[in-house]
Amino acid sequence: MNPHLRNSATYSGMTIGLLGGSFNPAHEGHLAMSLYALKQLKLDQIWWLVSPQNPLKTDADMAALNQRVESAKKLAKHPRFVVTDIEIALGTQYTADTLRQLKRRFPRVNFVWLMGADNLKQIPQWQDWQDIFRLVPVAVFRRPSYPAGRGIGKAAIRFNDAWHPSTQGAKVARQTHKSLPAWVILDNKLNYTSSTKIRKDYPSWLK
C-alpha cells in the first residue's frame, strides 16, 4: 500500500514515522532503525521517503529512482512499512517543504521525522532546517562515530531545551504543533552498514 494524496482519511489518527533518504541502496541499517523506532515510538506506520535527488548529494553514483525504490521494497516487507516516492507527486525537493505539504494533505496524521545522528550534525545545511523541528517531532538514531547525539552540532545546541530522554520517545512522537519543538535520541544498537560501503564493495548494484 502506498500513501495516496486523495485518501488521507485512511491515515486519520495515525502516528507515522518518516524516514527520508536516497536509499542508494536501501540496506539492513534502514530496516533495523525502522523496526526499533516502530517499537520505541509506538508508531502505526513508517514511510520510507525515497528522494528523487538529495540536494546535497551528487548524482554521479546515484541509481535511478525506480531502482532505489525497488531496493527499498525488497527490505521493507513489514506490514506497517510503506515505501514511497511521494515527493514527486508533492513537487517538493527539500525536507521542510515536504513536511509542510504532508501536514497540509494529511491534517489528521501525527508525523515524526526520523534521522540518524550524522544528519543531526549536517542538518544546518538543509533548507529551512529550523522549521523542521517546529513542524514535527524529531527522533534521532545513534550512528557509528555519532553515538551520543545530543551534543552534536549546531542543531542540538539550538534546540537543547526541546530535548527529551529516550524513555519519553512515544510521548515526543505525539506532540502537537503547540508543543513543538520536541526531539529525542533513541537508544538503538549501532549498525555499521552504510550505502556508501555497499556501493564501494558492490559497484554492480548500480547496473
Nearest to 138 by CA among 160, 157, 111: 111
Residue 175 phi/psi, 5° resolution? -70, 135
pLDDT tens profile 72-110: 999 999 999 999 999 999 999 999 999 999 999 999 999
Q: 14-206 is classed in which CATH architecture?
A: 3-Layer(aba) Sandwich (3.40)
Whole-number pLDDT of residue 206? 52
* pLDDT at 131 > cutoff 60: yes
pLDDT tens profile 25-62: 888 889 999 999 999 999 999 999 999 987 767 667 78
